[in-house]
Amino acid sequence: MPEIIESLGKIKGKQGYYAKFRCSCGKEFVSRIRPSRPVKSCGCLVGSPKHRLSCSKEYRTWIAMKQRCGNPSNCNYKNYGSRGITYCKRWAVFENFLEDMGPKPEGLSLDRIDNDGNYEPRNCRWADNTVQVCNRRTSRNIRYEGKTQTATEWFRELKISNATFYRQLNKGLTAQEIFDKYKKT
């Protein structure tokens, strides 16, 4: 049960009296005081009270994954569920997802290694935005000097901005000519 930290009284434009609470999970929040409906949590108990992680970034990631794969009303369903992308049976339970993936590192998000594969332990990782951009279906792969990489990876390696690359591509130069021009020797 949350403890009241500070009484805030009436809040302009709202009915009733409010207080600042500290939840048992440690989060502070503001809520209306109603004797008929005592405050039980900051919201962390919504969903699965047994793990008490319903407000965690891992839980939100898990919910978003399930929605993309299984809810036709989700705006991203067309790129996942309608393409046949699903999640493994084990990951239908949040605790299993968390056990397999571990805590979500700061600045990273859930990424499928094989873009056409399902969400499952051997096909998922926590990845930064650069890795995610290179792993899209729309990423352009370019072969140069016997090596194939995405355009983004080449830009980083050869220190070329994508704007420069595409501007020169639009002028009629080939990727090979552009890379030769900017290659550091």
| Amino acid 46: pLDDT | 60
Q: What is the domain range of residue 36?
A: 1-51
Do 44 and 1 share a structural domain? Answer: yes
The most distant pair of C-alpha atoms in the chain lies apart, rounded to whole Å, by 75
| Amino acid 12: pLDDT | 80
Please count the structural domains in the chain.
3
In DSSP notation, the chain reads -PEEEEEEEE-TTS-SEEEEEE-TTS-EEEEEE-TTS----SSTTSS-TTT--TTSHHHHHHHHHHHHHH-TTSTTGGGTGGGT--B-GGGGSHHHHHHHH-S--TT-EEEESSTTS-BSGGGEEEE-HHHHHHTSTTPPEEEETTEEEEHHHHHHHHT--HHHHHHHHHTT--HHHHHHHH---
Out of 17, 33, 51, a domain closes at 51
Walk along the chain (185 residues) and give the pLDDT tens digit of each residue. 677 888 888 888 788 888 888 887 778 888 888 877 888 777 766 654 555 667 788 989 999 999 999 999 999 999 999 999 999 999 999 889 999 999 999 999 999 988 889 999 999 999 888 777 667 766 677 788 888 777 777 787 888 888 888 888 788 888 788 888 877 54
Do 127 and 79 share a structural domain? Answer: yes
Q: The whole model's pTM is what?
A: 0.56
Do 123 and 79 share a structural domain? Answer: yes
Do 89 and 38 share a structural domain? Answer: no
Tokens of 142: 């370019």
Do 11 and 43 share a structural domain? Answer: yes
| Amino acid 134: pLDDT | 65
Residues in the chain: 185
Do 63 and 101 share a structural domain? Answer: yes
Do 61 and 112 share a structural domain? Answer: yes
Do 65 and 114 share a structural domain? Answer: yes
Do 65 and 6 share a structural domain? Answer: no
Do 7 and 71 share a structural domain? Answer: no
